[in-house]
Structure 1
Amino acid sequence: MQKRKITEGIHWMGAVDWDRRLFDSLIPLPDGTSYNAYLIEGSEKTALLDTVDPLMADVFLGQLDGGPKIDLIVSHHAEQDHSGTIPHVLERFPEAKVVCTPKAKGMLIDLLRIREDAFLTVADGETLSLGDRTLKFLHTPWVHWPETMVSYLEEERILFSCDFFGSHIAASDLYVTDKGRVYEAAKRYFAEIMMPFRNVIEKNLEKLQPYDIRMIAPSHGQIYREPSWIMDAYLDWVQGAPKNLVVLPFVSMHDSTRRMVDHLVSALAANGVSVEPFNLTVTDTGKLAIVLVDAATIVIGTPTLLAGPHPLAAYAAFLANALRPKAKFLSIVGSYGWGGKTVETLAGMIPNLKVEVLNPVLCKGLPGEEDFRALNDLAATIAAKHKEHGFL
């Protein structure tokens, strides 16, 4: 992929990674991803905004061949998929300055061993002139690391947002052409890395309100030429009330828990409650994270294994606790053979969730009529709670 013109003197640079299917050895990438950098040529100075993952360094460095001298290398975020190729750029342009937040400076030295005299740190709201163009830097901590910032190009009104508003999509189109596809990818991205920092992200969204943003150029995914819809989506994901939705991650070993889950799904639907079950043996955890953004209730289904929850169910509880969704209620269903402490173990794994724990339904062996009645009661209780809080 060659560098691509956005407007006169402003180019997209970077790499499209069509084949990558796992990020951070953890996050599924069903649509691949891209590593976006941007080149801005002013009348006096040229700025390079971000770089690429070192795995794609050769592609990126080839785009610099025959180009202008780089004066400034803006690092919005110290993580290697954005800043990992900065040392290579500095080898080619040793007089360039790395522009970043004060907190990012120390992180970049630790992560990439960039020499200390290469840095130019900028305060929140500070500007740098490129001659006929002006970059304004806004600190946006916890989007999604503590050192992050965004850049606003004042004359063209372009927001270079790094991970903010990003999406993991590999595409040949430079700009968003399929909003439905990008909405889901951006929501997945938000759920997986942004959701734990909702309160701080809300403040960062407020910080952007005074600016006339005509275009958003993120560091993953496609460029937004109509930025209002993705900004509105973020406001909903951050501020919006939970929806009339139950997310039900489960695992079953000998069909007992599966029968309980199937019955509960039917009972919830009969009570007017939407539900999305996720069989944890085959689930894309990104899809599960997407549903956690909106769900008012989480129900974990698990058999008892070695006196505790199945490891996959424990992972689901760990994931929910780490992502800190807006859910208001939680319960547990499952079966056991001879005893255990499944409920106590799972309850101890979710200290970050501000939820009301509803009575769990655990049965010995295969579920019977009494157990199914208890599941009906749980479904009715969830429906009543949703109605009471205005979700239903």
Structure 2
Amino acid sequence: MMNQVMLAENVYLVGKNDDRKVPFHRLVLEKGTTYNAYLLKTEKPTVIDTVDMEFGREFVEHLSKMVELKDIQYIVINHTEPDHSGGLALLSRRAPEATIVCTEPAVNELKEMYNLHSRNFLVVKDGDTLDIGGKTLKFKETPYLHTQETMITYCVEDKILFPCDIFSTHVANHEVFADQAGFDITDDFIGYYQAIIHPHRRYVKTLIDALEDLDVQMIAPSHGFILREDIEKYVDIYESMSVDCPAGKKAVIVYTTWRNSTKKIAENLKKVLEESNIEVSLFNADKSDKAEIIESIKHADAVFVGSSTKYADMIGRLEDVLREMTKMNLEGKIGAAFGSYGWSGEAIEVIQDYLTQTNMDVQSTSQVIKTTGMTDVEFPVRVRFAPKGEQLRKVEHSAAYVADLLLSAV
């Protein structure tokens, strides 16, 4: 069933209600979900987000009964994941003059996903506005909630926030508004936050800051209920659940280095962890007492181990520490490997092999992608030559990811 509900003058909900048990992010949504899209019938007709690709044709046909598709001027894509952008390919064919509005990181993703290489894109940045003829849209970038390209859209005149996945619920609701649901949606709202948003909790502050200068009277997300009462309550849930847990967490970073590139990685890991109020002990295994290192590892919550690669192997006395770690009970600790290299970086993989012989929770790229969908976090942390530019950002994102694991309230 396609929804068609007027939220404000010339603003319509036009999404899909999917009341099946829906497989989603390796979960089964027992209450189903909705794919909410929005039509603003202004002088320059605008669509905000679409629906899951499974329902793309139905969505476009439904939309065609409400507006001449060839007259659509803008299609705003807040987030490129196919449950929101999935109708874009068909819609763009039927609306050939429409400009696609998104953040810069979204452009190539949308071009590649839907073969839109010849389409006109409008790249918006934080705080940009767009006049759509009688209404004004304001855009705020909210990266990593829950992917890099994500933004939120605010209709100035109607005071409606269109935040895509943010503030959503997974419920196939036949009553569109939360205040008409007939039950308290708070548990569903929190459940969605924990499943989708909480792994990216450090970026919630960006969202809260973005909302400070917006007078939000209605939140129209891309899943579940539309919120028009108790707005502050739902924003407060996000803010309070993203706050760091009590201090006292400790991390140990042990490394050996050849030309100081691995040392620089270690120092950047330390910097990011300390910014999250995590106590960090940093050891060069060639210059520190092994007994002191082992004692610190015993009391740590997370252990990073890294080496430069020379002649396809680790360097220095790091292997002595790793051998000792395989004999220890390290249950409950987080482990991560890192290092720099010039060719293939075998030492980093050898460290990873040692760590997986322990009973630590050893981080891997595969694990991160499967649990969060994040592609900017990499384990082991591999840097070719010196950490700079995009490679340095990956180091920092990986450290931040471990910090979030340590401080997570869930």
Q: Distance in 1 between matches of 2:403 and 2:99?
A: 45
Q: Partner of 2:97: helix, strand, or coil?
A: coil
Aligned to 1:232: 236
SS in 1 for 2:163: strand
For the structure 1 residues 53 and 190, does the alpha-carbon distance in structure 2 shift closer, same or farther, using more than 3 Å as the test?
same
Q: 2:108 maps to which residue?
A: 106
Report if the CA contact (8 A) 1:3-1:13 is conserved.
yes
The alignment partner of 2:21 has SS state of: coil
Match of 1:41 in 2: 41
Deviation at 1:134, TM superposition (A): 0.4
The question of whether the paired residues in 2 share the 8 Å contact of 1:49 and 1:74 is answered with yes
Shift of residue 115, structure 1, vs aligned partner: 2.5
1:185 to 1:179, Cα distance in 2 relative to 1, 3 A: farther
Which of 206, 219, 226 does residue 222 from structure 2 map onto?
Answer: 219
Q: Secondary structure at the match of 1:212?
A: coil
Please give the per-residue CA displacement for 1:44-99, whole angstroms capped at 9, x wherever unaligned: 21110000001112331222123223110000001100001111011111111111
Distance 2:4 2:405 in 1: 52
Any idea what SS the aligned residue of 1:117 has? coil
Secondary structure of 1:218's aligned partner: coil
Alignment of 1:116-135 (within 5 A): 116-135=118-137
Percent identity at matched positions?
A: 33
Letter in 2 for 1:81: D
Aligned to 2:268: none
Cα distance change on mapping 1:116 and 1:147 into 2, 3 Å? farther
Aligned mates of 1:220, 1:103 — CA distance in 2:
23
State yes or no: 1:344 paired with 2:358.
yes
2:199 pairs, out of 192, 196, 199, with: 196
| CA displacement, residues 109-136 of structure 1 (integer Å, 9 cap, x when unaligned) | 1222223433111121111111211001
In structure 1, stretches of 5+ residues that fail to align are 243-296, 298-306, 308-313, 323-340, 358-390
Give the letter for the 2:224 counterpart: G
> Is the CA contact (8 Å cut-off) linking 1:157 and 1:214 kept in structure 2?
yes
Question: What is the aligned residue count?
Answer: 267
CA contact (8 A) 1:321 1:353 kept: no
* Aligned-pair CA distance for 1:173: 0.6
Are the counterparts in 2 of residues 39 and 47 from structure 1 also a CA contact under 8 Å? yes
- 1:64 maps to 63
Residues 1:184 and 1:115: Cα distance change in structure 2 (over 3 Å) = same
Greater strand percent: which structure? 1
Relative to structure 1, is the Cα distance of residues 65 and 321 closer, same or farther in structure 2, using a 3 angstrom cutoff? farther
Kindly state the Cα deviation for residue 211 of structure 1 after the two structures are TM-superposed: 1.1
Moved >6 Å (runs of 4+): none
User: Separation in 2 of the partners of 1:120 and 1:342?
Assistant: 46
With over 3 angstroms needed to count, the CA separation of the structure-2 counterparts of 1:347 and 1:128, relative to structure 1, is closer
What SS is found at the alignment partner of 1:344? coil
Q: Note closer, same or farther for the CA distance 1:41–1:239 as it changes in structure 2 (3 Å cut).
A: same
C-alpha distance in 1, partners of 2:404/2:242? 17
Whether the 8 Å CA contact 1:82–1:219 is kept in 2: the answer is yes
Q: Distance in 1 between matches of 2:149 and 2:356?
A: 39
Seen in structure 2, the aligned counterparts of structure 1 residues 181 and 32 have a Cα distance that, compared at 3 Å, is farther
2:204–2:239 CA contact under 8 A, matched in 1: no
Residue correspondence of structure 1 range 1-392 to structure 2 within 5 A: 1-24=2-25, 26-42=26-42, 44-68=43-67, 69-177=71-179, 178=181, 181-226=184-229, 227-239=231-243, 241=245, 344-349=358-363, 353=402
The question of whether the paired residues in 2 share the 8 Å contact of 1:50 and 1:82 is answered with yes
**Alpha-carbon distance, 1:355 to partner:** 9.9
Are the counterparts in 2 of residues 41 and 130 from structure 1 also a CA contact under 8 Å? Answer: no
Counterpart residue type for residue 33 of structure 2: T
In the alignment, is the contact (CA less than 8 A) between 1:14 and 1:34 conserved in 2?
A: yes
Shift of 1:202: 1.4
Distance 2:21 2:55 in 1: 11
Tell me if the contact between 1:61 and 1:89 (Cα under 8 Å) persists in the aligned partners: yes
Q: TM-score by structure 1 length?
A: 0.62
> Compared with structure 1, are the counterparts of its residues 143 and 180 closer, same or farther at alpha carbon in structure 2 (3 Å cutoff)?
farther
Maintained 8 Å contact 1:202/1:239: no
| TM-score (norm: length of structure 2) | 0.59
Distance 1:356 1:122, change over 3 A: closer
Any unmatched runs of 5+ in structure 2? 247-300, 302-325, 337-354, 365-398
Aligned twin of 2:280? none
**Structure 1 CA distance for aligned equivalents of residues 58 and 8 of structure 2:** 22
Inter-partner Cα distance in structure 1 for 2:219 and 2:359: 44
The CA distance in 1 between the partners of 2:236 and 2:60, in whole Å, is: 36
